[in-house]
Each structure stands twice: as structure tokens, then as C-alpha cells.
Copies of this chain bind each other. A is one copy, B any other.
Amino acid sequence: MRGATRDGVMEAAGKIAAIVPPTPLISLQLNGHALWCKAEALQPIGAFKLRGAWHRLSALAPSDRAAGVVAFSSGNHAQGIAWAAQRLGMPALIVMPADAPAKKLAATRALGAEIVTYDRHLESREEIAARIATERGAVLVPSFDDPWVVEGQGSTGVEIAAQLAERGHPGPARIIIPCGGGGLAAGIALACPDAEIIVVEPEGWDDMARSLAAGQIVPVGPDAPHTACDALQTRQVAPITFDVLKARGARGVAVSEAEVETAIRFAFDQFRIVLEPGGAVALAAALAAKIPLGDGTVLVLSGGNIDAQAYARIIAKGAD
């Protein structure tokens, strides 16, 4: 497999700019510092994942499109693939956990994808997806272990740099990025070579942070606690994302479930934007002062696909 490159990120950014407008870069004053929030939750599918999906699928030769695409995902990558496939007239089949948020299952189906569910605790989604892809002759698009996907997600960083420049600001000093498999973080690291990169994971699922600290890939332990951050429940990262982040001296921090809920309420109050737990971890790290809060820090708000009941429960906990 080829590696992801900065040239690939720039190419992806051009392709993505042609089909969706940039998501807002929102100014945030926090403890006297001028921060920015990149609102990827406002993408048409409610998350950044259409970027990598579009870069990958649009690069297929038309003759390779008919057999379709297969992917596995807890929901946001599923919607990204389904969205891109629908635009290209390709069939899409997504392997999703049976306990994925109902909203993510419904939204993926609404984009015309076929869904096969599996038991998160007993079955291997990778095996199921690979078997179906082979049977159909379809292209398999993993959610992060793929150079096209990493490059596509990196277009987020190209937009951030352009939006700061448009407003007369220097490039991003530091970018704080939610991390499951690390595709978004590695892509942004390639896009923004001068920024400090910090990834954020839920407590107990901070395998990228521990891998970066150890200098080698370390999986999530078998005793990982429950987390509401379904989008970030990746048990092991891949060399394609890890190597980029390690070479850049990136590091990671972990946030608690309570810190994530605080961030969700903050985004409701201050931005009028709905965030899902996994999409709120970078903001959570900033609000909990777990990252340096200097000027030019950019927080990526990566997704907003959360079931209504879960969201109502979190929001109602805040004092009015």
C-alpha cells in the first residue's frame, strides 16, 4: 500500500472544494485566548467522513464502479461512503455494529446503502467486509487504514489554513483533533506541516496517545470502559496513521465522559451546533484545560450524529 502524501491531500482538497462548501471556522474566546473551532459536524452527513470517501471513490475508474463499494463503520464513515457512492451511482454495502446509534443506521440506509449488521463483541467486521467485497468484486474502503482516506480527511486542514489566511491570521499554531483510528489527525498533520498536532481520545480508549508515547502501536486493553464516543472506539491504529503522527511528534490526551458532556452542552449554548460525543472530545480537552490554550489553537468539532434521546438527556443536565 502506498503512503498518504501532502500532494495527495492538496489534490483531495481541490476535489472536495468542488462538491461541498468549506465548513465554518468559528471564533472562540477562551480564557483570554483566540481559538478557532472547525465545524465538521455541519457537513451534509454531519461529519468529516465524506472527505476521504469522496477522494477514494471518485478516483476509481468508471469501469471499477459498477461492482460497488464495501465498508465497515459504526456510522460516520458509513454515511460518508454511502453519500459518495450515491453521488457516483455506485452500490454501497456497509457492515455496521448492531448496536450503532439508530440515527446512524437510519441515515446510512436513507443514503441508499445496503446494511449488514454484526455483533461488536463476537464477530470481526474486517472479516465480514473482506469476504463480501471478494464475493462481489467490490472495492473495500477502510475507515482509516487507507492512503486515499487519510488524504481526503486531511482536506479539513487545507480549509483551516485557507480560512485563517482569508481573515488575516497566521497559520494554525496547534490543531486538536478527535482520534479513533487517526485518519483525520494524520491527514491534517500532512496538510498543516507547521502546526503542533494533539489528538484526543476517550479515557480507556487512548491507544493512539499511548502508542505515540511508547513509540510503537499499542492496542486498547481488553478492559476498556464503556464510552459514549462510539465514533472513536478503535481498538488499534494502523501504521499509515501512526507513522505520520509519530514523525510529527504528535501527542495525545484523554478526556472523561463528563468532560465530553460538558463540551456538548457548551457547543449547544455557544455555537447552536449539535455535537455527538466523539465529535466533542477536542472541545472537551480545551474546556478542561488539558491542552495548551494559546492563540491560534484550532479545535476540530468532527461530528454531530447523536440520537435525540441521548442528546436530550445530556442537554437537560445543564443548568439553565
Contacts and interface: CB of A to CB of B under 8 A. Distances in A.
Interface stretch (A58-66, A225-233, A263-271): A263-271
A103 B266 CA distance: 12
Given A24-B24, A272-B42, A273-B272, A309 B304 contact: no
Main SS of the interface on chain A?
A: mixed
Q: Which of A103, A271, A272, A273 has the most CB of B within 10 A?
A: A272
Interface in A253-305: 265, 268-269, 271-275, 304-305
A271 B274 CA distance: 9
Nearest to A318: B308
A134 interface: no
Count of chain copies: 2
A315 interface: yes
A28 to B, nearest CB: 10
A44 interface: yes
Interface of A: 21, 23-27, 41-42, 44, 46, 102-103, 167, 265, 268-269, 271-275, 304-305, 307-309, 311-313, 315-316, 318, 320
The 4 closest A-B pairs by CB, nearest first: A272-B304, A312-B316, A312-B312, A272-B274
